[in-house]
A and B are shown apart, each in its own frame.
Chain A
Amino acid sequence: DQQVKQNSPSLSVQEGRISILNCDYTNSMFDYFLWYKKYPAEGPTFLISISSIKDKNEDGRFTVFLNKSAKHLSLHIVPSQPGDSAVYFCAASAITGANNLFFGTGTRLTVIP
């Protein structure tokens, strides 16, 4: 059973515009959330994270928003650049789960020049 869901397998955005990637989770025990970026033939690399005590975390062009009541988080990339084209994975963990990371199925972002 998929505890972390990314319902959009792909997203295309024009360069300079905002990219919004969405993620939903079902396990209310999750309290730490991460986004990873993956290029072809490479392993996922950490991008940004957020603890459940916050509702927003920002790092340069990347901002993650957390809505605990809706069990939803999103990643905003502003402005989008062609180099951002990659597969983005949402991940979550629970302190009671010994820090196992549960991943979604990923969203392929294409930024069009």
Chain B
Amino acid sequence: DAGVIQSPRHEVTEMGQEVTLRCKPISGHNSLFWYRQTMMRGLELLIYFNNNVPIDDSGMPEDRFSAKMPNASFSTLKIQPSEPRDSAVYFCASSLIQGARTEAFFGQGTRLTVV
């Protein structure tokens, strides 16, 4: 398995522009997470999907952030309009939750820079 695939790996955009980050989870996994890594807060959970349904989006910082999971093999995180303080590394992770606990597998991340 190729693991969790994120694209793009790097994104540089101007303030005010729309940014879309993409994620392909591991095949067969039923849960998907979007995290943001910052120096101050470490890995923050932004939103969590289970069976393509958003379960907890309390970590989404503002209405400028939105996430979708139209099917089991694809998810997007959109920021519109983007701001310099959104600059961070964004990670997508997936896991298979079937009663017993299991770890989440992370993608390589998207480094977003908003200038």
Identify the A interface with B (CB < 8 A): 2, 6, 32, 34, 36, 41-46, 49, 51, 89, 91, 93, 98-106
Contact A100 B103 (CB under 8 A): no
Task: Please give, as numbers and ranges, the residues of chain A lying within 8 Å of B43 by CB-CB distance.
Answer: 44, 89, 91, 103, 106
Q: List 26 A-B contacts (CB under 8 A).
A: A2-B41, A32-B101, A36-B106, A41-B109, A42-B108, A43-B4, A43-B106, A44-B43, A44-B91, A45-B106, A46-B103, A46-B104, A46-B105, A49-B103, A51-B101, A89-B42, A89-B43, A99-B101, A100-B33, A101-B45, A103-B44, A104-B42, A105-B39, A105-B40, A105-B42, A106-B43
- In the complex, identify which listed stretch (B48-56, B64-72, B79-87) lies at the interface while the others stay far away: B48-56
Given A32-B101, A43-B109, A49-B103, CB of A103 within 8 Å of CB of B35: yes
A98 touches B101 (CB 8 A): no
What residues of B have a CB within 8 angstroms of the CB of A42 in the complex? Answer: 108-109
Known: A104-B42, A105-B42. Contact between A99 and B97, CB under 8 A? yes
Q: Which of under 10, 10 to 19, 20 to 34, or 35 or more describes the interface residues of B? A: 20 to 34
Across the A-B interface, give the 8 residue pairs with the lowest CB-CB distance, nearest first: A43-B106, A105-B42, A103-B43, A46-B103, A32-B101, A44-B106, A43-B108, A99-B97
Measured between beta carbons, the chain A residues less than 8 angstroms from B75 are: none
Closest to A43 in B: B106
Task: Write out the residue numbers on chain B whose beta carbons fall within 8 Å of the beta carbon of A102.
Answer: 45
Q: In the complex, which residues of chain A have a beta carbon less than 8 angstroms from the beta carbon of B97?
A: 99
A25 to chain B, nearest CB (A): 13
> In chain B, what residue has the closest Cβ to A103?
B43
The A-contacting residues of B in range 1-60, CB under 8 angstroms, are: 4, 31, 33, 35, 39-45, 48, 50, 55-56
- Determine the distance from Cα of A32 to Cα of B97 in the docked complex, in whole angstroms: 13
Taking a contact as CB atoms closer than 8 A, the residue among B95, B105, B106, B108 that contacts A99 in the complex is B95
A101-B91 contact in complex given A43-B109, A49-B101, C-beta closer than 8 Å:
no
Which residues from chain A contact B103 at a C-beta distance below 8 Å? 34, 46, 49
User: A100 touching B56 by the CB < 8 A rule?
Assistant: yes
